[in-house]
Amino acid sequence: MENGLDACDSKGILPDIHLTIKAVDPEKSDPKPYILTVKDNGPGIESKHVPLAFGTVLYGSKFGLKQARGMFGLGATMAILYGQITTNKPVTVKSSTDAKKSDEYELLLDIQKNKPVILKHKTKDVAKKGLSVSICLEGDYSKAGTKIRDYVYQTSLITPYASITFDDPKGEKYPYPRMINSMPKPPTIIRPHPYGTDVETIRRMMVESQFEIPTIDDAMIEKVRKDLGLAKKNFSFTAIMEKAKKRWKTLSRQVRVIIALMSFLKMDFEKLNKIRIEDIDVPNKKLFYWDFGDSTSKSVEMDPESQYYKQLTNTIQGETLTAFLTKKFQRVGPTTAVKFAEFAGFKPEKRLGTMTNQELAKLSDSLQKFDDFMGPDPSCLAPLGEEPLEKGMKKFFNPDFLTVIQRSASAYSGFPFVVEMGIAYGGDISTRGIKVYRFANRIPLLYDEGSDVVLKVINDIDWSRYKAKGDPPLVIVSHICSTRIPYKTAGKENVADRQEIERELKLAIQFMARKLSVFMNKRGQAEAAKKRANLYAKYVPLIAQFCTELAGKKKEPNFQKILQEEELIENE
Amino acid sequence: MSKNVESKKKAASKKALEKQKNILDMLKSHGAKIYDDLDSGQFPKFSIPSRSVSNIVYDKKLRQYILGNSTALRSSKNTSQLRSFTQLMWLAFFANRLTNEKKSSTLRDIYYSSQAFAIDFEDQSESDNIIVDLEAVTSRPREDFHIFPEERSSIFGDLNIEYTIPGYEGKTMNLSNHPDGYAIGPSLTTAELVDTSAEIVIAIEKGGLFTRFVEEQVDKKFKSIIINTGGQAPRSTRTLLKRLHDEMKLPVIILTDGDVYGEHIAMVIKSGSANAAHLRELTVPDAKWVGVWATDIEKYKLPTIPMTESDIKRCYDLQKDPRYLDGIWKKELEVFLRLKRKAELEAFSKYGLTNITDKYLPQKLELAKSL
């Protein structure tokens, strides 16, 4: 289901998800085999990828830094595997990417080789795009039913733009129609934020940034020739060097590196093809290469004054610190980068490749401590948004009072996160006391409620201060979005109490609770006014009756005036 | 009937009528104000002397507790006061009817009568409280509105009275005709006090001793009027005591049990209670407590019973009362606290049933002259 929703989200398709659970043999008693089918209207998976996607463990595309429901692409395969272990039945996958043809596979997983075994493959004509996965697995619906229904219910609550239906084994249908027709903006993939970047991450980023010496093959030679605009016949060493000098600024980095190498080796491409560069020893200004002709290792001196020397060392030593920061991290500009270098005690032009391990540790350390980095870019996050959340909650609870808030993005250890919450009071809510629906990246968290940070924050609030005393019919929806939710346990059911997240949750709840208290006050006032009017209606005529006799009058005083005035005040 | 009696009857009747008219006029003016407020589209309101503890002060000149100057506003607009406001209006309305029709009613009657008017008093103490409100607003005791407590006190002695209540106007009575004594009720408190041969009033706390005093002809032997207060003297009894003192110029002496409660019964007759600080005319400042004192317990070697904890606490409470700061009041409290024992009036029976009238009373009467 989550995969289906993710797929639809990424393609901007309003999701239609059908979940069906059917008993293979309804007469048998639980636990027994069930067939679980999830059907979506997403983009489908290309036929050739289907066996790998569903027949191997850890086949996933989810490696970029953006928010998605699943993180590692384990969920579906694990379910398939579980089905295979308990019932030894294959998984059936039907996929159509073009709304014309559908590829239907029956697959088993070869666990030892982590490879799919295709039992059947046929093609059918269909009219709709989408993916359908059927797994046969053993389960106990009588026990798990509540959780499954909760899961569908809550998923629908946090995905108001999806239509979700669930047909359960008892023949009950749980339809959750689409409540809004606009999709939230899909998340974009972004660069990491400096906070929370450790030494290992920096090393990995350095490797990505360090430019390797290009392989010199025919295609590359052809590229160099074209870039320099030289004819094949006039492709000598001198011609190359002359032309390169003139056109240096227009040349690509790859070409520049090759030219630089050639300048020290003083070879044309013909000769170059017969050697292999072994090492560029920057401190000793030497260039080592292996000559295939006489099978010996040779070296040439490099002139440090040469512009080509600079080009080569740049390549070898990596980018300058400032370039590295501005290119590899989000929201770091040149000015900030220079300021940071000063803060960290590095020269701005210090090259990453020349840093010792200690220096790298110092760099990583300073990245955490520098205060002037901008907050993390939340564009990689996909909160639902205030309006859809509000609409969804309104449809679900039809409350007397509803408020939602989306806090601006914050970060914990470099991972951006956004907290969005809603509070609904009264109306169709029949539960007494505060009911909390927790979501993380649009996934309902159903288990292990007690130790969750959201619950902790909610329980720490003195609700009577906000006029919600006793057991108020209150629903709180909490949605934490992050590129990495800090789950406490591997089960991914409760969010750890990171201080930054706790703070955002608290501010969100306090903001909403203040609004709730205003509502409760008004409601209290309205009730009090009504009560007051009733009291007046009861007692004022009596006072009139008594004082009439007491004053020795015959006609009662016109007390209607004050009663009407009171009503006016009440109706205001 | 002689002309003299006839004119007296007329005078009495006139006086009673005047009083009734005063009361009715006052109630009417209160009612008219409320009526006008309502008629002009205003929530009616009135002010009432505050009866909170902070507003109850001891007036040394008057020798009683009185209400201070602070007043509270009762408004029908205030929903927390609306109910009691209406209840008070009803009570005024009901008192008006009682006074008009010259009928009397007990506190208990009031509580039940209210139920015919959708004025729901939760219990009698609530209705009693509203009655006190009416007293405070009008500065008149409830008896003026023909509202009386259940009676339990009685009077005996040579006193001629003349009734003023409807149906008995002008009828006279001598209060020594019936040896069980006469209940002190509305007809007695409103009666004219005509004449008496008595020279002193003896107020006694207990019915048993009252009967003994009548049997022993204390009225004749000591030229006295005997009054049984039945414990803490009711308002009507205190009113009568005051009238006997003021109108007939009779000194009043008080005999109580020898304990802290007895001492206070005497004090209330003398200078009123804090509960009735809104009313005057209920005290006999010159009344004298002659016994049984704590010092008498030792002097007369009376059989005693130990004081309870609440007796002792009561002693300490009274020590804070400004009226107990000097004289015998202070001294006796101290002795009670020292003895931690108390004695009842009946304790004298140890020395013979008539010991109290033969020995103790004469000594105390003699002593009273010097008090």
How distant is the Cα of B93 from the closest Cα of chain A, in angstroms? Answer: 6
Tens of pLDDT, residue by residue over A175-222, are: 988 888 888 777 676 777 777 677 777 777 776 655 566 777 788 888
The β-bridge partners of A416 are: A411
Q: What is the mean pLDDT of residues B221-248?
A: 92
CB contact under 8 Å between B44 and A539, yes or no, is no
Residues A404 and A467 in one domain: yes
Cβ pairs A/B, distance under 8 A: 85
Asked if A96 and A135 count as a contact pair (C-beta separation under 8 A), the reply is: no
Tens of pLDDT, residue by residue over A7-37, are: 777 677 788 889 998 888 888 887 888 888 8
Q: What is the mean pLDDT of residues A126-154?
A: 86
CB contact under 8 Å between A557 and B39, yes or no, is yes
How distant is the Cα of A519 from the closest Cα of chain B, in angstroms? Answer: 23
Query: SS3 for A288?
Result: strand
Q: Please tell me the predicted confidence (pLDDT) of residue B121.
A: 85
CB contact under 8 Å between B34 and A559, yes or no, is no
Q: Which of B39, B41, B92 sits opposite A550 (nearest CB)?
A: B92
> For position A394, which CATH number holds?
3.30.230.10
pLDDT(A65) > 90: no
How distant is the Cα of B369 from the closest Cα of chain A, in angstroms? Answer: 50
Q: Please tell me the predicted confidence (pLDDT) of residue A114.
A: 73
Tens of pLDDT, residue by residue over A165-175, are: 999 888 888 89
Report in angstroms the alpha-carbon separations of A408 from A376, A379, A480, A508. 10, 11, 12, 10
- Print the domain residue range for A325: 199-208+319-369
Secondary structure percentages of chain B, helix, strand, coil, to 5 = 50, 15, 30
Contacts of A551 in chain B (CB under 8 A): 28, 31-32, 34-35
Domains of chain A: total: 5
How distant is the Cα of B98 from the closest Cα of chain A, in angstroms? Answer: 12
Interface test with B, best of A546, A548, A555, A562 (most B CBs within 10 A): A546
Helices of type H across A159-235: 199-209, 218-228
Q: Which residue has the higher pLDDT, A404 or A83?
A: A404
CB contact under 8 Å between B76 and A543, yes or no, is yes
Tens of pLDDT, residue by residue over B174-220, are: 999 999 999 998 889 889 999 999 999 999 999 889 999 999 999 99
Q: Please tell me the predicted confidence (pLDDT) of residue A75.
A: 65
pLDDT(A2) > 60: yes
Lowest-confidence segment of A67-76, B44-53, B144-153, B298-307 by average pLDDT: A67-76
Which DSSP category does A487 fall into?
Answer: B
Q: What is the mean pLDDT of residues B84-90?
A: 92
Asked if A296 and A274 count as a contact pair (C-beta separation under 8 A), the reply is: no
In which band, very low, low, confident or very high, does the pLDDT at B334 lie, cut at 50, 70 and 90? Answer: very high
pLDDT(A58) > 70: no
Interface test with B, best of A550, A553, A554, A566 (most B CBs within 10 A): A550
CB contact under 8 Å between B96 and A539, yes or no, is no
How distant is the Cα of A550 from the closest Cα of chain B, in angstroms? Answer: 5
How distant is the Cα of A556 from the closest Cα of chain B, in angstroms? Answer: 8
Q: Please tell me the predicted confidence (pLDDT) of residue B291.
A: 83
Domain B3-148 sits in CATH 1.10.10.10: yes
State which residue of chain A sits closest to B95, comparing Cα positions: A550
The β-bridge partners of B203 are: B227, B254
Contacts of A565 in chain B (CB under 8 A): 41
Q: Which of B34, B97, B119 sits opposite A547 (nearest CB)?
A: B34
Measured over the CA atoms of residue A511, residue A515, residue A518 and residue A524, the dihedral's sign is negative
Q: Is B123 on the interface with A (CB under 8 A)?
A: no
Residues A330 and A239 in one domain: no
Could you give the CA distance from residue B102 to residue B169 in angstroms, rounded to a whole number?
12
Cβ under 8 Å to A: B residues 80-119: 82-83, 85-86, 89-90, 92-93, 96-97, 117-119
Q: Which residue has the higher pLDDT, A435 or A318?
A: A435
Residues A135 and A13 in one domain: yes
Mean confidence (pLDDT) of chain B: 88
Which DSSP category does A495 fall into?
Answer: B
Helices of type H across A217-292: 218-228, 237-247, 253-265, 269-272
CB contact under 8 Å between A549 and B96, yes or no, is yes
CB contact under 8 Å between B38 and A558, yes or no, is yes
Q: Please tell me the predicted confidence (pLDDT) of residue B226.
A: 96
Q: Which residue has the higher pLDDT, B162 or A330?
A: B162
CB contact under 8 Å between B32 and A551, yes or no, is yes
CB contact under 8 Å between B35 and A532, yes or no, is no
Q: What is the mean pLDDT of residues A230-251?
A: 83
Q: Is A554 on the interface with B (CB under 8 A)?
A: no
State which residue of chain A sits closest to B33, comparing Cα positions: A551
CB contact under 8 Å between A557 and B36, yes or no, is yes
Which DSSP category does A214 fall into?
Answer: P
pLDDT(B157) > 90: yes
Q: Which of A532, A543, A562 sits opposite B34 (nearest CB)?
A: A543
Report in angstroms the alpha-carbon separations of A556 from A536, B32, B46. 16, 11, 20
pLDDT(A456) > 50: yes
* A67 inside domain: yes
Residues A143 and A217 in one domain: no
How distant is the Cα of A532 from the closest Cα of chain B, in angstroms? Answer: 6
Contacts of B41 in chain A (CB under 8 A): 558, 561-562, 565
Over pLDDT 70: what percentage of chain A? 90
> For position A51, which CATH number holds?
3.30.565.10
Q: What is the mean pLDDT of residues A92-112?
A: 85
CB contact under 8 Å between B79 and A531, yes or no, is yes
Asked if A27 and A35 count as a contact pair (C-beta separation under 8 A), the reply is: no
Q: Please tell me the predicted confidence (pLDDT) of residue B227.
A: 96
CB contact under 8 Å between A550 and B38, yes or no, is no
Q: What is the mean pLDDT of residues A509-533?
A: 87
Would you state the structure tokens that stand for residue B196, as one six-digit string? Answer: 């008496």
Non-local (6+) Cβ contacts of B8 within 8 A are B162, B170, B192
pLDDT(B13) > 70: no
pLDDT(B146) > 90: no
pLDDT(A74) > 90: no
In which band, very low, low, confident or very high, does the pLDDT at B7 lie, cut at 50, 70 and 90? Answer: low
Contacts of A549 in chain B (CB under 8 A): 31, 93, 96-97
CB contact under 8 Å between B96 and A550, yes or no, is yes
Contacts of A533 in chain B (CB under 8 A): none
**Three-state secondary structure of A330-378:** CCCCHHHHHHHHHHHCCCCCCEHHHCCHHHHHHHHHHHHHCCCCCCCCH
Q: Please tell me the predicted confidence (pLDDT) of residue A170.
A: 86
Q: Please tell me the predicted confidence (pLDDT) of residue A211.
A: 58
Measured over the CA atoms of residue A524, residue A526, residue A529 and residue A535, the dihedral's sign is negative
Q: Is A490 on the interface with B (CB under 8 A)?
A: no
Q: Please tell me the predicted confidence (pLDDT) of residue A63.
A: 35
Q: Is A535 on the interface with B (CB under 8 A)?
A: yes
Residues A70 and A155 in one domain: yes
Could you give the CA distance from residue A407 to residue A508 in angstroms, rounded to a whole number?
7
Contacts of B96 in chain A (CB under 8 A): 549-550
> For position A342, which CATH number holds?
1.10.8.50
CATH topology of domain B155-370: Dna Topoisomerase Vi A Subunit; Chain: A, domain 2 (3.40.1360)
Angle ∠(A513,A515,A519) on CA atoms, nearest 5: 110
CB contact under 8 Å between B31 and A550, yes or no, is yes
Cβ under 8 Å to A: B residues 231-250: none
Which DSSP category does B359 fall into?
Answer: I
Q: Which residue has the higher pLDDT, B42 or A315?
A: B42
Q: Please tell me the predicted confidence (pLDDT) of residue A64.
A: 43
Residues A389 and A302 in one domain: no
Q: What is the mean pLDDT of residues A334-348?
A: 87
CB contact under 8 Å between A543 and B86, yes or no, is yes
Could you give the CA distance from residue A40 to residue B225 in angstroms, rounded to a whole number?
108
Non-local (6+) Cβ contacts of A224 within 8 A are A240, A255, A258, A259, A269
Beta B147-148 vs B105-106: how paired, if at all? parallel
Residues A10 and A151 in one domain: yes
* A471 inside domain: yes
Q: What is the mean pLDDT of residues A77-106?
A: 84
CB contact under 8 Å between A544 and B38, yes or no, is yes
Q: Please tell me the predicted confidence (pLDDT) of residue B254.
A: 96
Q: What is the mean pLDDT of residues B47-64?
A: 83
* A365 inside domain: yes
Residues A356 and A462 in one domain: no
Q: Is A527 on the interface with B (CB under 8 A)?
A: no
How distant is the Cα of A546 from the closest Cα of chain B, in angstroms? Answer: 6
In which band, very low, low, confident or very high, does the pLDDT at B5 lie, cut at 50, 70 and 90? Answer: low
Tens of pLDDT, residue by residue over A461-507, are: 888 888 777 788 889 999 988 877 887 776 677 787 788 888 889 99
Contacts of B118 in chain A (CB under 8 A): 542
Helix axes A2-11, A75-87, angle to 10 degrees: 150
Domain spans of chain B?
3-148, 155-370
pLDDT(A288) > 60: yes
Q: Please tell me the predicted confidence (pLDDT) of residue B284.
A: 92
Could you give the CA distance from residue A88 to residue A171 in angstroms, rounded to a whole number?
25
Cβ under 8 Å to A: B residues 292-331: none
Contacts of A570 in chain B (CB under 8 A): none
Interface test with A, best of B38, B79, B93, B119 (most A CBs within 10 A): B38
Tens of pLDDT, residue by residue over B243-255, are: 999 999 999 999 9
C-beta neighbour count of A215 within 10 angstroms: 8
Non-local (6+) Cβ contacts of B321 within 8 A are none
Catalytic positions of B, written as ranges: 112
Tens of pLDDT, residue by residue over A543-569, are: 999 999 988 888 888 888 888 776 665
State which residue of chain A sits closest to B96, comparing Cα positions: A550
Residues A542 and A423 in one domain: no
